[in-house]
A = this chain, B = another copy of it.
Amino acid sequence: MELLLTYDVDTTTPEGRRRLRRVAKLCEGHGIRVQKSVFEIITDDQTLLQLTYDIEDLINTETDSVRIYRLPPSGTETVQTLGAAAPHPHRSDLIL
């Protein structure tokens, strides 16, 4: 399944900035960072469940916010981009 994960981590404290780096690093292990706090993730239910547990271990649930949206099939490929944004190919199985 294709997902979009977005987060806001409170970076007004050194501890918050550390959480931000950890959340980003965790998400980079699961998908592609397409903007500072936006990740495109192609995964399965079980891996997603583990990711959500790992995220909850890292964030401050009072101040930090994570949203995980399910995208339609090819949702990451049909993204409309403006400005410096560019679509990020996930599938590298197409060998020409």
Residue numbers of A with Cβ under 8 A of B are 4, 6-8, 34-38, 52, 55-56, 59-72, 75-76, 78-85
Contact = CB atoms under 8 A, between A and B. Distances in A.
Q: How many copies does the complex hold?
A: 2
Contact of A69 (B61, B67, B68, B71): B71
Nearest to A52: B82
A16 to B, nearest CB: 12
B75 A70 contact: yes
Given A35-B6, A36-B8, A55 B82 contact: yes
Contact of A81 (B34, B63, B66): B66
Nearest to A75: B69
17 contacts: A6-B35, A34-B67, A35-B65, A37-B37, A38-B38, A52-B80, A52-B82, A59-B83, A62-B83, A63-B83, A64-B84, A67-B81, A68-B82, A69-B69, A69-B80, A70-B71, A70-B78
